[in-house]
């Protein structure tokens, strides 16, 4: 079984896709990460929470909640009560909670956790938000879609994104 | 060949090494120093009246280099070292010099970001409105980033107030391609009453002499007048 993760903000692009296509060795600049979607290669049954999200930088405690029953599904969604702020995180699927519908002896294989960090407004992914991020997002208005400038995750880049980058100037990722 | 320099006594060599290390550490600690950066943020006082809420200063950007540089975005944050100061707002209406994005400000006229620290800290940021555009700062040219409005308590002494710029990334400058431009801060930035130029000591001596001569002449003239009056 494989799994992929996607930002649950309405953009049809998965975190794994981002990782593969854009070499995700950078933080996420999005201001509206309020959940995760996990796609499975087979139908699965999810018992318990199934997914955990933990700060690795003394950040807040996260309590993702499973959406729906989690039974006989190819994908599952978890919601967060509020959007993730500045943090370094570890997202992990609980292998004991997820089994194949066809045979409960089949469990996940491969990597079931993903480390990532979030710094809203960090368009250029350098770990700090400065005037360069504001300028960078402004430069993307009217250009071919650049997911890194779409800070609100609405599928396009507009002045609100520039405003967001500006309002976050001076923030930095916490030490790892 | 200055061989003598290499044959110094161990004690002197150790002292020299320690001095070199200290200088190297000082150099490192200096880091993003004002003097090395081509772009320098500074402060210009426009008005400073205790008890007034209509005071203002300009945060400026100077290109101290020898080549022109184009600026597309900036941010700054300043903190006043006095609780007599309450920062209120930041606008594009700079007084001492023209605004850097005059007519092309994306966020103006009000470019304030935040006020904190009981009004002693304020930040502002603006961007050139046109994507990939910017304003070119010629060598040695100074332009205004923002006009900062502030209130002074009535008990504010008529003396300069030190200012601290919050370092990068809070205070930062970018070029039209969204690259960071290294920026420093003017040495000992402060704002305050416009200082009255002090007279040099020689000028004081000359002034004193002239006053003395003047008084003497006046006394002489008065004596002559009294003599004439007496003769009549």
ipTM of predicted assembly, 2 dp: 0.84
Q: What is the DSSP letter of A61?
A: -
Which has more pLDDT, A79 or B213? A79
pLDDT band at B178 (very low <50, low <70, confident <90, very high): very high
- CA-CA distance, B135 to B175, in Å (whole number)? 9
Task: Indicate the residue of B131, B166, B174 with minimum beta-carbon distance to A131.
Answer: B174
**In 10 A of CB A124, how many CB atoms?**
22
Residues B152 and B160 sit within 8 Å (Cβ to Cβ): no
pLDDT tens-place string over residues B67-97? 999 999 999 999 999 999 999 999 999 999 9
pLDDT tens-place string over residues A74-94? 888 888 999 999 999 988 888
Which has more pLDDT, B15 or B86? B86
| C-alpha distance from A84 to closest chain B C-alpha (Å) | 21
Name the residue of chain A whose CA is nearest to B181's CA: A132
In this prediction, residues B180-205 reach a mean pLDDT of 73
pLDDT tens-place string over residues A102-117? 887 777 766 677 788 9
| C-alpha distance from B128 to closest chain A C-alpha (Å) | 8
pLDDT at B221: 56
Which has more pLDDT, B227 or A123? A123
pLDDT at A17: 45
Q: Which residues on chain A place their C-beta less than 8 Å from a C-beta of chain B?
A: 123-124, 128-136, 138-143, 162, 166-167, 169-172
In this prediction, residues A20-48 reach a mean pLDDT of 78
Cβ of A169 and B131 within 8 Å?
no
Cβ of B127 and A170 within 8 Å?
no
- CA-CA distance, A9 to A154, in Å (whole number)? 7
pLDDT tens-place string over residues A137-171? 999 999 999 989 999 988 899 999 999 999 999 99
Please give the torsion angle defined by the CA atoms of residues B125, B128, B131 and B134, in that order, rounded to the nearest 10 degrees.
-120
By DSSP bridging, strand B183-185 and strand B39-47 are parallel
CATH class of A1-176: mainly beta
Q: Quick check: A121 pLDDT over 60?
A: yes
pLDDT at B213: 52
Cβ of B169 and A170 within 8 Å?
yes
Domains of chain B: 34-191 (2.60.40.680)
Task: Indicate the residue of A128, A162, A172 with minimum beta-carbon distance to B127.
Answer: A162
Most confident of A112-126, B114-128, B190-204, B214-228: B114-128
Cβ of A132 and B168 within 8 Å?
no
Cβ of B74 and A131 within 8 Å?
yes
A123 CA to centre of own chain:
15
H-assigned helices in chain B: 3-6, 10-30, 201-231
pLDDT band at A2 (very low <50, low <70, confident <90, very high): very low
The residues, any chain, with a CB within 8 Å of residue A70's CB and separated by 6 or more, are A44, A45, A46, A47, A50, A76
Spell B59-83 as b/e; 16+ CB within 10 A means b.
bbbbbbeeeebebbbbbbbbbbebe
């Amino acid at each position: 079984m494989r799994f992929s993760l996607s930002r649950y903000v309405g953009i049809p692009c998965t975190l794994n896709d981002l990782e593969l296509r854009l070499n995700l060795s950078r933080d996420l600049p999005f201001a509206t990460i309020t959940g995760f979607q996990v796609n499975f290669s087979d139908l699965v049954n999810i018992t318990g929470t199934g997914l955990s999200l933990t700060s690795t930088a003394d950040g807040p405690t996260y309590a993702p909640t499973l959406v729906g029953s989690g039974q006989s599904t190819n994908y599952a969604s978890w919601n967060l009560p509020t959007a993730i702020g500045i943090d370094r995180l570890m997202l992990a699927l609980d292998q004991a909670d997820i089994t194949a519908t066809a045979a409960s002896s089949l469990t996940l294989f491969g990597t079931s956790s993903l480390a990532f960090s979030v710094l809203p407004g960090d368009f250029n992914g350098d770990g700090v938000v400065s005037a360069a991020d504001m300028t960078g997002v402004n430069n993307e208005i009217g250009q071919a879609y650049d997911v890194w400038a779409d800070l609100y995750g609405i599928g396009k880049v507009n002045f609100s994104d520039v405003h967001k980058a500006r309002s976050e100037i001076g923030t930095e990722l916490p030490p790892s | 060949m200055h061989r003598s320099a290499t044959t110094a006594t161990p004690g002197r060599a150790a002292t020299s090494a320690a001095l070199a290390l200290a200088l190297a550490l000082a150099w490192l600690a200096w880091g993003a120093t004002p003097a090395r950066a081509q772009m320098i943020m500074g402060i210009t006082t426009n008005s400073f009246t205790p008890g007034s809420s209509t005071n203002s200063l300009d945060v400026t950007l100077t290109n101290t280099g020898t080549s022109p540089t184009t600026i597309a975005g900036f941010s700054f944050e300043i903190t006043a070292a006095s609780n007599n100061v309450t920062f209120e707002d930041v606008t594009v209406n700079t007084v001492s010099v023209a605004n850097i994005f005059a007519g092309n400000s994306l966020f103006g006229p009000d470019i304030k970001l935040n006020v904190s620290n009981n009004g002693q800290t304020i930040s502002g940021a603006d961007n050139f409105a046109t994507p990939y555009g910017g304003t070119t700062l010629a060598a040695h040219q100074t332009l205004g980033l923002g006009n900062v409005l502030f209130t002074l308590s009535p008990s504010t002494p008529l003396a300069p107030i030190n200012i601290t710029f919050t370092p990068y990334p809070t205070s930062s400058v970018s070029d039209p391609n969204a690259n960071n431009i290294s920026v420093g801060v003017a040495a000992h930035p402060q704002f305050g009453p416009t200082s009255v130029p002090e007279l040099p000591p020689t000028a004081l001596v000359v002034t004193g002499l002239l006053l003395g001569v003047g008084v003497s002449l006046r006394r002489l003239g008065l004596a002559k007048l009294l003599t004439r009056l007496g003769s009549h």
